[in-house]
Amino acid sequence: MDFVEGEIIGFDKPYRWTSFDVVGKSRWLLCHKLGTKKLKVGHTGTLDPLATGVVVVCTGKKTKLIDALQQHIKEYVATLQLGATTPSYDLEKPIDQTYPTEHITRELIDRVIPTFLGEQWQVPPIFSAVKVDGKRAYELARKGQEVELKPKLLKIDEIEVLSFDQALMQLQIRVVCSKGTYIRALARDIGERLHSGAHLIALRRTRVGDIRVEDCISFEQFEQIINQL
């Protein structure tokens, strides 16, 4: 493998790692092994710390492909807790409000979920990396400042129900979508369309373009590869 000329690596990101952790740790390992202080390393799309799955990393001259790779569709498997919301739309923040769920049935879910297919406008979460006046929205939100984000046009190519536990009010879905789609915001919108509330309790990115999670490597495997060079 020639990391200076350029490689494209699919990582299975661990829970609570940021995408920047993946880039930073892999860059440090490579620079240490190659005996250099500088090596271009970048990722092709941020994945939330509380999510796991595919993060694509480019090295060396292959970093020129990052902009193109960022346009690739993504696939996710998401688990939603219905009947409650959090400010971050996931488990980063505690529940701030609860809602009725007695009316939610599998039949209702099967009617609502297909309404998210196609192009639509989505307001990003305030706890996100979207920039507001040069600062990340999450930086402002964590300081308790008011954050108003503009809706963005996105496209959902596929969305399906994988399972629904009516006793626990937990819904698992698979989503294939365009760049810029926030699955946390989709969870919020699904909750609202069900006349209730919802937030993410698990998220796994299973594909970026043609790179599937089953073809990705763990960071431990990457270390082993580097040590064998």
**Residue 54 token pair:** 């595919």
> What residues does 41 pair with on adjacent strands?
59
Write down the catalytic residue from 48, 90, 157, 165.
48
Q: Where are the beta strands (DSSP E) in the chain?
A: 8-13, 41-43, 52-59, 74-82, 84-85, 97-98, 118-122, 131-132, 135-136, 152-165, 170-177, 198-208, 211-212
| CA gap 7, 59 in Å, rounded | 5
133 as an active site residue: the answer is no
| CA gap 199, 206 in Å, rounded | 20
| CA gap 8, 40 in Å, rounded | 12
**85: nearest Cα among 182, 195, 197:** 197
List active site positions.
Answer: 48
